[in-house]
């Protein structure tokens, strides 16, 4: 039985700390120099695994990360999927997270509410959970590793999906830093996820601040 390895794409110019952080969402922005180095570092860690296939969000920052991984691991190609994109927050993409917190909080409090020119959280969760389950089934049939390059919102939702938990309890902030590698595998008949440092990965939901990063 193989394993699924989730990779959060590398750093971009909008991944800045504090009040200047901007919502990425579906903006098709590239990696910056830090992100390219993070992708290279992640590729070195991934080289310890026998990678059979690489899937990626079709956004540029994810595709760039995936291509660095492909070159290092010798995987045959990168297959892109829109289902691996983060939550589409429409008109809020590109704006400072600090400035739009009231709107983000409202969308998190009403997960069936569609963001202007975007989608609801439930719509995001539905499409991502379907693709994640497909990738988990593929990994289960594999003798090696299946890699999926995605975004922090997706990683935050993963634990709830694999545990068949309450989708209303998905964390709204935090998550792993850019370039992080997360292993999802079936142990003792139960799907689990852990960071590549072998420690169990648990994301705790936090209320009050809806930092919908991507």
**pLDDT value at residue 214:** 59
Q: What pLDDT is stored for residue 209 in this prediction?
A: 35
Higher-scoring residue by pLDDT: 206, 192: 192
Mean pLDDT within 20-41: 96
Task: For domain 3-195, give the CATH number.
Answer: 3.40.50.1240
Q: Given pLDDT bands bounded at 50, 70 and 90, which one contains residue 200?
A: very low
Q: What tokens does 4 get?
A: 């699924």
Confidence of residue 98 (pLDDT cuts 50, 70, 90): very high
Rounded (5°) CA angle 41-180-208: 150
What are the C-alpha distances in Å from 187 to residues 119, 122, 140, 194?
34, 29, 11, 11
pLDDT single digits (tens) 47-84 = 989 999 999 999 999 999 999 999 999 999 999 999 99
pTM: 0.91
The residue extents of the domains of the chain are 3-195
Q: Enter the tokens of residue 37.
A: 């180095």
Q: For the segment 35-44, what is each residue's pLDDT rounded down to a tens digit?
A: 999 999 999 9
Q: Which two tokens stand for residue 143?
A: 């003798």
pLDDT, one tens digit per residue, over 158-185 is: 999 999 999 999 998 888 999 999 999 9
């Amino acid at each position: 039985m193989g394993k699924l390895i989730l990779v959060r794409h590398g750093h971009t110019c909008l991944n800045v700390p504090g009040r200047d952080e901007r919502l990425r969402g579906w903006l098709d922005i590239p990696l910056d120099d830090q992100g390219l180095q993070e992708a290279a570092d992640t590729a070195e860690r991934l080289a310890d695994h026998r990678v059979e296939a690489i899937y990626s969000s079709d956004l540029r920052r994810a595709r760039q990360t995936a291509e660095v991984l492909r070159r290092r691991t010798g995987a045959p190609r990168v297959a892109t999927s829109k289902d691996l994109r983060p939550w589409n927050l429409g008109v809020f993409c590109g704006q400072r997270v600090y400035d739009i917190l009231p709107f983000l909080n409202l969308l998190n409090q009403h997960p069936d509410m569609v963001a202007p020119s975007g989608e609801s959280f439930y719509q995001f969760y539905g499409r991502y959970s379907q693709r994640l389950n497909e990738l988990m089934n593929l990994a289960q049939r594999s003798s090696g590793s299946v890699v999926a390059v995605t975004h922090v919102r997706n990683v935050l939702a993963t634990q709830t999906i694999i545990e068949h938990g309450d989708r209303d309890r998905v964390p709204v902030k935090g998550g792993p830093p850019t370039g992080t590698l997360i292993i999802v595998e079936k142990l003792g008949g139960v799907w689990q996820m852990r960071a590549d440092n072998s420690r169990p990965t648990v994301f705790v939901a936090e209320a009050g601040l809806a930092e919908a990063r991507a």
